[in-house]
Amino acid sequence: MPDIVLKNITKRFGNTIAVKDLNLKIEDKDFVVLLGPSGCGKTTTLRMIAGLETPTEGEIYIGNRIVFSSQRGIDISPDKRDIGFLFQNYALWPHMTVYQNIAFGLENLKWKREEIKKRVQELAYLLKIEGLLDRYPSELSGGQQQRVAIARTLAPKPKVLLMDEPLSNLDAKLRTEMRSELKRLHKEIDSTFIYVTHDQLEAMTLATKISLMNEGILQQFSPPLEIYDKPVNLFVADFIGNPTMNFINVKLNGVKAGRYILIHNEVEILFQPSVYKDLDIGEDFVLGIRPEDIEIGKDRGLQGIVYSVLPSGMETVIRVKIGELFLTLITFGRTAFSPDEVCYLNFPTDKYILFDKREGNNITLGNIISIEKR
Amino acid sequence: MVKTLNRFKTYIKKPENIILITLIIVLTYLVIVPLISIIHDTFVVHTSERMRIRGKQVGEFTLYHWRNIFFGKYSDHIFYKPLYNTLLVSIGVSIIALALGGLIAWLVTRTDLKYKRWISTLIIFPYVMPSWTLAMAWLDFFKNSQIGGVKGLFTALTGITTPNWFAYGLFPIVVVLGLHYTPFAFILIGGTLKNMDANLEEAALILKASRFRILRKITIPIVMPAMLSTLLLVFSSGISAFAVPAFLGSPVRFQVLTTQLFRTLNGVNPGYGYLIGLVMIALGTGILTINQILIGKRKSFTTVTGKASNVSLVSLKRLRGPISFTILIFLILISIFPLFIFAIQSFLVEPGNYSITNLSTIFWIGEGRPDIANGEPGILKNKYIYHALWNSFRLSILVSIIVGILGVLIGYAVVKKRGTPLANMLDRLSFFPYLIPAMAFSATYLSLFAVRRGIIPPLYGTFILLVIIGSVKYLPFASRAGITSILQIGKEIEEAAVIFGVPWYKRMSRIIIPIQKPGFLSGFLLPFISSMRELSLYILLVTPSTQVLTTMLFQYNEKGWDQYANAIVLLIVLVVLFSNIVVNRVTGASIDRGIGG
């Protein structure tokens, strides 16, 4: 039922624009992640959906109900929006026990005492905190506090669950664990989740759709793998993926049989676009290559010198120097290469992306037919 | 048009916005308008000046006051000499407080001094007690009979007559005020030393720097901002000190700006008084503004991490015993000993006669004898005293409640709207009274509230005016406490309740206030203590029916009824000390559980 629609949402703080003309349609039962670097407006967007922040302009619908409109002067208060909000630092009330923390909101919503008790028990079971109900938040570990916060948020059975970087205060191991629990929870409670994070790995693994923002402007709103494979611009390409995509500044030197001849210093690349477009000869472009789309070998290919080797057991990140150009690549498992060794690179996939340098937009995907020194 | 209206509607719906706007309007009237009024009053003829300023009607424009204060024949006498004395006192006081407070702070935090707990407790005493207690004690102990009074305890015990310079005037004023502000320096510098990352000093120790060199090259530069801050705060306190110079300076006609302000405002030349008040305000705000700027700048590179440190302590070796003992005795002398003096003095029938037969409880529970102090009854039987005590309590309680509530509201609104122009404005407005010397501030109120202004009736002489000025003057403490408390909570704690539709008053009463109870309570209790012992803020504004204990004390002292004065001092000190214990209990006892989740 509750599709969430943001129409032309703009938020200004004084002279700075936090969110600019944002349009977003979130479907029922989606797990949408608002992703972006700090200060990109993702948290502000979440808070505006919750009603904790008032947009300067625009309209917000939750379900079929309009909850905010600057034009019509509508501003429904947070408690009437049927949402739950999970805060980054949990915001547990330190002077109340776990039970009181979960029950306080329900008391305020005029639930009956027995119902409250039943609901708290239910949530305690769901989140495995049955033994902690009489404790104070300061007596809990970070992970336990997190569970209590989730229980408190879920207590009134919100249709939409808004989460503001809920895992960022946990250590790495616990974070992975909670991540899978959140995904499970999403399946179990049948609500729409909107989740804010700056961690692209979290976004990739959790989301059904990612909304990537930068400086208050929506960059791309797509499923995770689509955002990974087909980033709409340089910013998205750069932000998603670790290690980051390699970017090679190139100049279009000519076109031959529907293929672009791209030049970077002494390197010449023959690029086969998946969709041919007329481009101006002599114009600057950027060629984006994901590290896993480069193969390293001992013979045949573009010659380079190994600059550094970073093994992490499961995979190895290698940095290779080709003249003035550095390329990062990743191989599965261990590698036989060591620094200062000569190596050869190959580019076997069709996922290389040509960006327009000035605007940063994705022009086309394609494959590299040949790459060699002139 | 509709949009603007809508925006206004959402704006006014939020409690923080209502608080901001209301308080800005009220505080502007209570802080800024009095300043304008006092400036105006330096340019007009006042009723009592009609005979002096010839050819002008009351209320007419005149430059008489400005001319006479700064360039007149008697300028030296009425203005420059007191100004010079004020600066002299402030400099002397700063040096004593800083040197003594800093030294003891260093000894306590960095050496193997003995009795550390006793010393850190006792040293706070002189600051908790009203400044004039030490002045009274000094007079009781060291006064001589040359001025036309009776001899003090010291002369009675030793037979040595104290010289005038020792008993009255600059020297005792500087010593007494210096001792009063020593704890202040101790707290500020000691706090910094304690929170300083020990690694900074240990790093130097490993590099084989000598202890003295570490102190000079590392420790002192790092605590420099705290010392500078202390210096400026003590200096400006020295400027606004009234009671101590009044007690110790008046026997030898040693005038400072505050005493001069009091004389002229109560005399025939209020215009002079207002102008002196204005000069003091300029001095006070100037110095403290410098302090604020310095604090702001220095913060960025102080490496005070707040990490608890275990510095290896400097061994005092053979001097350990003697130094520890000397400091302890000294502190007992200035903190507990005065109380005994007051007690003794208050039982002497004939002042200066220290024999056993001269002891009596007449000044405590006597019915009053016509041959002593015009038949004034003893202070426990004296209805005027009870009246003043009642006034003091009533005033301090009202002030602390008002200030406490305003502190919470200001803290809430300023933090909530942090960074907006209105929030900054309220923040500064509520802090501004701190910069204005107390007596000069009350002069501005005298100027503004002496007559009807629009719908506001003349409040001079009313109890309400005392409540208002007390509330405004102590607001800075509470608003600071409020702002830090709310900042510590973080906005999410409140928003978590907003999501459940908890109304504002309930968010305040069930969540915000319970969480920061100790912080807010100190916002209530500190103004109470300050107000109980306040003299210079109220003295210009009280009338016989609104007398408080401190102003009563001042009058008894002026009349030379020493025994009554001593008895009242004892009474006030006990009330203040008792309240202070309550503060410590309350603020210390409730941080035990749950905070910091």
- CB-based contact, A307 to chain B, within 8 Å: no
Q: What mean pLDDT comes out for the span B506-523? A: 83
Predicted pLDDT of residue B516? 81
Cα(B435)–Cα(B567) distance, integer angstroms? 33
Predicted pLDDT of residue A222? 95
Shared-domain flag, residues A192 and A337? no
In total, how many domains does chain A have? 2
Cα(A41)–Cα(A221) distance, integer angstroms? 15
Residues pairing with A57 in the sheet:
A10
Shared-domain flag, residues A153 and A47? yes
Q: How many angstroms away from the CA of A87 is the closest CA of chain B? A: 7
Cα(B351)–Cα(B358) distance, integer angstroms? 9
The answer to whether residue A237 is domain-embedded is no
User: Per-residue pLDDT tens for B129-175?
Assistant: 788 888 888 888 888 877 666 777 788 778 788 888 888 889 999 99
Q: What are phi and psi of A250, to 5 degrees?
A: -130, 165
Chain B residues with CB under 8 Å of A79 CB are 498-502
pLDDT higher than threshold 50 for residue B591: no
Shared-domain flag, residues A203 and A256? no
Residue B39: Cβ-neighbour burial (10 angstroms; 0-12, 13-18, 19+): middle
* Apex A337 CA angle, A334 and A340, nearest 5: 150
Cα(A134)–Cα(B420) distance, integer angstroms? 41
pLDDT higher than threshold 50 for residue B592: no
Predicted pLDDT of residue B194? 76
Which carries the bigger pLDDT value, residue B516 or residue B440? B440
Of B11, B500, B10, the residue nearest A69 (C-alpha): B10
User: Per-residue pLDDT tens for A162-212?
Assistant: 999 988 888 888 888 888 888 988 988 888 999 999 999 999 999 999 999
Task: Find out whether A295 and A349 touch, Cβ atoms under 8 Å.
Answer: no
In three-state secondary structure terms, A162 is strand
Shared-domain flag, residues A215 and A304? no
Predicted pLDDT of residue B586? 67
Shared-domain flag, residues A81 and A207? yes
Q: Which helix (H) or strand (E) holds B185?
A: helix B170-195
Q: How many angstroms away from the CA of B501 is the closest CA of chain A? A: 5
Predicted pLDDT of residue B368? 64
Q: What's the pLDDT band for B305 if we cut at 50, 70, 90?
A: very low
Predicted pLDDT of residue B340? 82
pLDDT higher than threshold 60 for residue A160: yes
Q: CA separation (Å) from B471 to A61, B241, B275, B464?
A: 47, 20, 24, 10
Which carries the bigger pLDDT value, residue B541 or residue B299? B541
Q: Do A70 and B7 touch (CB under 8 A)?
A: yes
Shared-domain flag, residues A218 and A264? no
For residue B555 the two structure tokens come to 């009058």
Shared-domain flag, residues A222 and A294? no
Shared-domain flag, residues A79 and A14? yes
Q: Do A71 and B594 touch (CB under 8 A)?
A: no
Tell me the CATH number at A127. Answer: 3.40.50.300
- CB-based contact, A15 to chain B, within 8 Å: no
Q: Do B597 and A77 touch (CB under 8 A)?
A: no
Task: Find out whether A164 and A146 touch, Cβ atoms under 8 Å.
Answer: no
Residues pairing with A373 in the sheet:
A267
User: Per-residue pLDDT tens for A17-50?
Assistant: 999 999 999 999 999 999 999 889 999 999 999 9
Among A168, A200, A232, where does a domain finish? A232
The side-by-side arrangement of strands in the sheet containing A325-332 is A295-297, A342-346, A302-311, A315-322, A325-332
Chain B residues with CB under 8 Å of A89 CB are 490, 492
Q: CA separation (Å) from A97 to A89, A100, A140, A183, B514?
A: 17, 5, 11, 27, 14
Q: What does pTM read for this prediction?
A: 0.79
Task: Find out whether A109 and B500 touch, Cβ atoms under 8 Å.
Answer: yes
Domain that holds residue A302: 246-373
The answer to whether residue A220 is domain-embedded is yes
For residue B184 the two structure tokens come to 């202040």
Residues pairing with A305 in the sheet:
A321, A342
Q: What's the pLDDT band for B594 if we cut at 50, 70, 90?
A: very low
Q: How many angstroms away from the CA of A353 is the closest CA of chain B? A: 42
Chain B residues with CB under 8 Å of A14 CB are 419-420
Considering only A110-119, A245-254, B172-181, B197-206, which range has the smallest mean pLDDT? Answer: B197-206
Residues pairing with A69 in the sheet:
A59, A74
- Stretch 369-428 of chain B: residues touching chain A, C-beta under 8 Å: 419-420
Cα(A169)–Cα(A150) distance, integer angstroms? 14
Shared-domain flag, residues A328 and A208? no
Chain B residues with CB under 8 Å of A105 CB are 497, 499-500, 502
Among A198, A232, A266, where does a domain finish? A232
pLDDT higher than threshold 90 for residue A13: no
Q: What mean pLDDT comes out for the span A208-226? A: 94
The answer to whether residue A11 is domain-embedded is yes
Chain A residues with CB under 8 Å of B499 CB are 50, 52, 78-79, 83-85, 105, 153
pLDDT higher than threshold 50 for residue B236: yes
pLDDT higher than threshold 60 for residue B301: no
The answer to whether residue A145 is domain-embedded is yes
Q: How many angstroms away from the CA of B168 is the closest CA of chain A? A: 55
Cα(B527)–Cα(B434) distance, integer angstroms? 13
Q: What mean pLDDT comes out for the span B566-582? A: 81
- What ipTM did this prediction achieve? 0.79
Cα(B246)–Cα(B64) distance, integer angstroms? 27
- CB-based contact, A73 to chain B, within 8 Å: yes
The answer to whether residue A105 is domain-embedded is yes
Cα(A251)–Cα(B388) distance, integer angstroms? 91
The answer to whether residue A239 is domain-embedded is no
In three-state secondary structure terms, A251 is strand
Q: What are phi and psi of B59, to 5 degrees?
A: 90, -5
Task: Find out whether B116 and B331 touch, Cβ atoms under 8 Å.
Answer: no
Which carries the bigger pLDDT value, residue B367 or residue B500? B500
Please report where in the chains the tokens 């409670």 appear, as a residue: A189
For residue A277 the two structure tokens come to 């477009």
Residue B172: Cβ-neighbour burial (10 angstroms; 0-12, 13-18, 19+): buried
Chain B residues with CB under 8 Å of A109 CB are 500-501
Task: Find out whether B246 and B133 touch, Cβ atoms under 8 Å.
Answer: no
Of B447, B84, B62, B468, the residue nearest B265 (C-alpha): B447
Q: How many angstroms away from the CA of A348 is the closest CA of chain B? A: 50
Predicted pLDDT of residue B85? 94
Per the rule left: phi > 0, alpha: psi between -120 and 50, beta: everything else, A289 is: beta
Residue type (1 letter), A4 = I
Distance separating the N- and C-terminal Cα atoms of chain B: 46
Q: Do B500 and A108 touch (CB under 8 A)?
A: yes
Q: What percent of chain A has pLDDT over 90?
A: 63
User: Per-residue pLDDT tens for B260-276?
Assistant: 999 888 887 888 889 99
Which carries the bigger pLDDT value, residue B77 or residue B564? B77
pLDDT higher than threshold 70 for residue A356: yes
User: Per-residue pLDDT tens for B191-204?
Assistant: 777 777 667 777 77
Cα(A101)–Cα(B515) distance, integer angstroms? 13
Q: Do A85 and B495 touch (CB under 8 A)?
A: yes
- CB-based contact, A70 to chain B, within 8 Å: yes
The 8-class DSSP code of residue B196 comes to S
pLDDT higher than threshold 70 for residue B542: yes
Among A232, A261, A295, where does a domain finish? A232
Task: Tally C-beta pairs within 8 A across A and B.
Answer: 97
Antiparallel, parallel or unpaired: β A217-222 and A362-373: unpaired
For B6, which of A73, A87, A104 is closest by C-beta distance? A73
Shared-domain flag, residues A223 and A254? no
Chain A residues with CB under 8 Å of B493 CB are 91, 93
Shared-domain flag, residues A213 and A263? no
Name the residue in chain B with its Cα closest to that of A84: B499
- CB-based contact, B592 to chain A, within 8 Å: no
Of B220, B261, B223, B218, the residue nearest B241 (C-alpha): B261
The answer to whether residue A240 is domain-embedded is no
Antiparallel, parallel or unpaired: β A302-311 and A295-297: unpaired
Q: Do B499 and A85 touch (CB under 8 A)?
A: yes
Q: Do B511 and A93 touch (CB under 8 A)?
A: yes
User: Per-residue pLDDT tens for A293-330?
Assistant: 999 998 888 999 999 999 988 999 999 999 889 999 99
For residue B200 the two structure tokens come to 């900074």
Predicted pLDDT of residue B307? 46
Q: What mean pLDDT comes out for the span B81-103? A: 93
Q: What mean pLDDT comes out for the span B521-548? A: 86
Q: Do B597 and A94 touch (CB under 8 A)?
A: yes
> Omega into A243 within 30° of 0, i.e. cis?
yes
Shared-domain flag, residues A203 and A137? yes
Q: What mean pLDDT comes out for the span B347-376? A: 68
Of A71, A92, A19, A72, the residue nearest A49 (C-alpha): A19
Q: Do B594 and A95 touch (CB under 8 A)?
A: yes
Predicted pLDDT of residue B501? 86
- Stretch 112-141 of chain A: residues touching chain B, C-beta under 8 Å: 136-138, 140
Of A116, A61, A105, A48, the residue nearest A79 (C-alpha): A105
Cα(B265)–Cα(A210) distance, integer angstroms? 73
In three-state secondary structure terms, A63 is coil
Tell me the CATH number at A316. Answer: 2.40.50.140
Question: Which domains are present in chain B?
Answer: 63-360 (1.10.3720.10), 382-590 (1.10.3720.10)
